Copies of this chain bind each other. A is one copy, B any other.
Amino acid sequence: MARRLRIAQVAPPFERVPPHAYGGTERVVDELVRELHRRGHEVTTFASGDSIVPGEKVPTVPEALRPKGYAGDSLPYMQLTIQKLLARANEFDVIHSHLEWANLLVARVSPVPVVSTFHGRLDLPWAEDLLVDPPAGLVAISESQASAHPAVPWAGVVHNGLTLTGTPPTRRRGPGLAFVGRITPEKGIVEAIEIARRVDRPLRIAAKAGPSAAERAYHDDVFLPALKAAGSLVEYIGELSGADRDDLFAESYATLMPGSWPEPFGLVAIESLACGTPVVAKRIGALPEILREGIDGYFGDDVMGMAFVVERVEELDRDRIRTEVVERFSAARMTDGYEAIYRRVIGGSGAVGARSSDPDAGDASAPVPLHVSDRVEARAAR
């Protein structure tokens, strides 16, 4: 019944799709491409040449740039991606751009409708100015992220989804805590160590040290001394990915997310839940949208507050957590959300610059994306 769409998915050139390890945007693009392809759409993915995707791939650079050590300005390579996209734009019914701020540029100049997902935080100094007279089709990955710009007529909020399988329930769960992230001040790694010491539970840290001078300094001057001071209670096991990371979650009593960085989504949270492992976190960013307090975990405002609730995790229903997160944040749910938005921007208007808030532009028969918040939609329709 539904028409087969010609869809361009546009990823940044910095990590491959799917990424080897770190790279939330590219993981989500990977899931979306595979699910859209499975549903019969004609998907063309603009991504680094070492990406592995079903359907057609248009290499924007021969190899992903970050793993090769590129740490320079993003502009030339983002522009290269845009240039390759625009050269073929007319071949698509819809373009789905994941280029962060450059999304807006793509949306403003594309001859075909553009759906744009922002994957990072939006409360940045240039945001208000770039979002003046915003183009149609802008999508946030959480209400928290969207709320930074209430005047933007969001086409929807589509929570990220992953193919969550969790781990075999045969995995033996111990009393220890888990931390997965990067070794940076905003991810709260030192706070995680402090929580472990307060509750006297072992903590295993799977984390990556960043390449910048500031990150290296933090690693040497702050993280390592805190790790040493904690003695045998805390173990640093380097960077993990995929199955190893799931094993860590599955073997842990709870996962700590004590960072102060307002996660626009928080993939670590759903990965932990998919292993049946509750999360203890700060109530910031999108985490209150993902974690149902008293079901999936608990919130605390600081180290003392989070340490205080760690023991309550004992009573949570781990099977329910796992079963429900697989449904709540599946790749299929996410793809449902995006498909509905694609059909709306295509059906509503072929004209560039049409606003999704235009009452005449919407296709009333199009299903509302499953993860589109009513509140945000109502705001957009004003």
A contacts, CB < 8 Å to B: 61, 73-80, 82-83, 86-87, 101-102, 104-105, 108-109, 124, 126, 129-130, 132-133, 213
Contacts and interface: CB of A to CB of B under 8 A. Distances in A.
Contact of A213 (B124, B129, B213): B213
Given A76-B130, A83-B108, A87-B133, 16 more contacts: A61-B129, A73-B74, A74-B74, A74-B75, A75-B78, A75-B101, A76-B126, A79-B101, A79-B104, A80-B129, A80-B130, A83-B104, A83-B130, A86-B108, A86-B109, A105-B105
Given A82-B105, A108-B86, A73 B75 contact: yes
A82 B130 CA distance: 10
A133 B80 CA distance: 12
By Cβ-Cβ distance, the 6 closest A-B pairs, closest first, are: A76-B126, A109-B109, A75-B75, A76-B101, A74-B75, A213-B213
Contacts of A74: 73-75
A76 B213 CA distance: 23
A16 B157 CA distance: 39
Contact of A105 (B83, B101, B132): B83
A126 B73 contact: no
A304 B78 CA distance: 44
A193 to B, nearest CB: 28
14 contacts: A61-B129, A73-B74, A73-B75, A74-B75, A75-B101, A75-B102, A76-B126, A79-B101, A79-B102, A79-B105, A83-B104, A83-B105, A83-B108, A83-B132
A78 B82 CA distance: 15
Contacts of A133: 87
A86 B102 CA distance: 15
Contacts of A61: 129
B76 A73 contact: no
Contacts of A86: 108-109
Contacts of A87: 133
A124 B72 CA distance: 12
Contacts of A82: 105
A101 to B, nearest CB: 5
Nearest to A132: B83
A77 to B, nearest CB: 6
A78 B101 CA distance: 11
A61 B126 CA distance: 9
A22 to B, nearest CB: 18
Nearest to A73: B74
Contacts of A75: 73-75, 78, 101-102
A186 to B, nearest CB: 16
B130 A79 contact: yes
A27 B329 CA distance: 54
A371 B275 CA distance: 69
